[in-house]
Amino acid sequence: MLLFYDRLKSLVVDSHKSFNQIERELGYPRNALANYRLGKEPSAKRLAEIADYFDVTTEYLLGKGDDYNYKKAQLLFEYLSQEKKQNLLNYIEARLDEVTRFEQERVSLNVEQFVHKDADTWVFQPSDKIVRFPRQELPDDYDVIFELVNEALQPAIPSMNGDLVFIKFTEKPLKEGILSFSLEANQLAKLVTNDDRVLYLSYLGTDDAEASEELSGKVVKVYRSQEVLS
């Protein structure tokens, strides 16, 4: 833990003033602040005065907190000339605009389509569809994107027509091209592939521990079409 003098010295250096100058401004005797290097701590009254002078908390001065970075940045900013201040503000504004444009940018994604056939089966349908998707909404990692067409995956879930399902595979296909992945708690889904092509997606409502051990992938996230793709 930093001692009071360590924090005080850091604040004095950042202020670009001397100990003597600050002592005069606070109305303290000469070396009143510098003598804290001997390891003593100030009285509660003087501690509050010093904290108020540097616009920090007493906890920070006593080494019990680290909420000072914002104040250090403010001190450095105030030390700049007016021209440099404006140049810095212009740079920050340009960077913020760049980040905003990046977050709002949409990227082109190729999606596989599954068409609902019965209560728990979705059949693969060849598709060259490309979706414009918000970059900031993309998962960090995924292997394939499925677009669900028509009804819900199960009656309890509202219609998922047009929703995108991002899936990350965790290992190679099992059992002659069958991929299992977790959809929700105690629910599995299976993908059947042939020659590296997905044939169908089947929903399985189960809490079978043995089936869970076969998982070779997981749904990274489901994006609702009406919320994301509008």
Mean pLDDT, the chain, as a whole number?
68
Q: Domain residue spans in the chain?
A: 4-79, 107-228
Cα–Cα dist 33/22, whole Å: 9
Q: How far is CA 162 from CA 115, 172, 184, 200, 227, in A?
A: 10, 28, 19, 17, 11
Q: What CATH class does 4-79 carry? A: mainly alpha
CA atoms within 13 A on the CB side of 222: 17
Provide φ and ψ at 169, rounded to 5°. Answer: -85, 140
Tell me, yes or no, if the pTM score tops 0.75: no
Identity at 159, one-letter amino acid code:
S
pLDDT of residue 161: 54
Q: What is the pLDDT of residues 59-111, one digit of tens each?
A: 788 777 655 555 666 667 777 788 888 888 888 888 887 777 776 777 777 77
Q: How far is CA 167 from CA 43, 75, 141, 163, in A?
A: 62, 48, 9, 13
DSSP string across 52-78: HHHT--HHHHTTS--TTHHHHHHHHHH
Q: How confident is the model at residue 23 (pLDDT cuts 50, 70, 90)?
A: very high
Cα–Cα dist 33/24, whole Å: 10
Nearby residues of 169 by Cβ (< 8 Å), 6 or more positions away: 143, 144, 179, 181, 216, 217
